[in-house]
Structure 1
């Protein structure tokens, strides 16, 4: 699976596209009200990526187990220090409503997804990020 993300920013607009295996989509994020750049920062988007990955993977893994999930809520938080420092103390919480399944089944599903969530595992392994000029 090949994934890419692109942002083109001017003082008046952001043009943001994401693409997976040739399927391109636009995302709407406003520009900063007081200057250039995005109104949403990279840390927020990083944490959203973690939440989105986990949410999507819950539904994927639940389908494999033939579990009926009504809804999922994933909340991610952490801290950023000074400029240039990586995030720390990243934690996430998950709430799932699935009336047809026991709390033990739901806990097992959550633990399984924690092991296979790709964005989480990418950060846990500390993958290299390189600048291409």
Structure 2
């Protein structure tokens, strides 16, 4: 028996398996590689019924963002205006700290945070608060 004839079924099966493995690639799986930013430990009480909790005027807010976020991409807004904030970073998290402007006194405010991870995916979150009137 010829060696070529003996190996032809093996070559055929190997080529079929290789072709199926190549077709099994799913470009959507790259999204699973990038971890979305996580936001946690927001320090101000979120407004809820029936408690109707208010925060003191010009309060300082803080929250943590996951360490795999590029701190330069963090954006913090409230009432369609950018809030100034500081970032303290370590290997476990980025701590975001900002002070509520006096113009928010006596009103409902939605604090919005957005950030982009180092690998490119992003996420955003927000908290509704009620600022007490001074």
What TM-score range do you get, normalising by the shorter chain? under 0.3
Choose between structure 1 and 2: higher helix proportion.
1
Please tell me whether Structure 1 or Structure 2 has the larger radius of gyration of its CA atoms. Answer: 2
Task: Considering Cα pairs closer than 8 Å and 6+ residues apart, tell me whether 1 or 2 has the greater RCO.
Answer: 2
Which TM-score applies when normalising by structure 2?
0.23
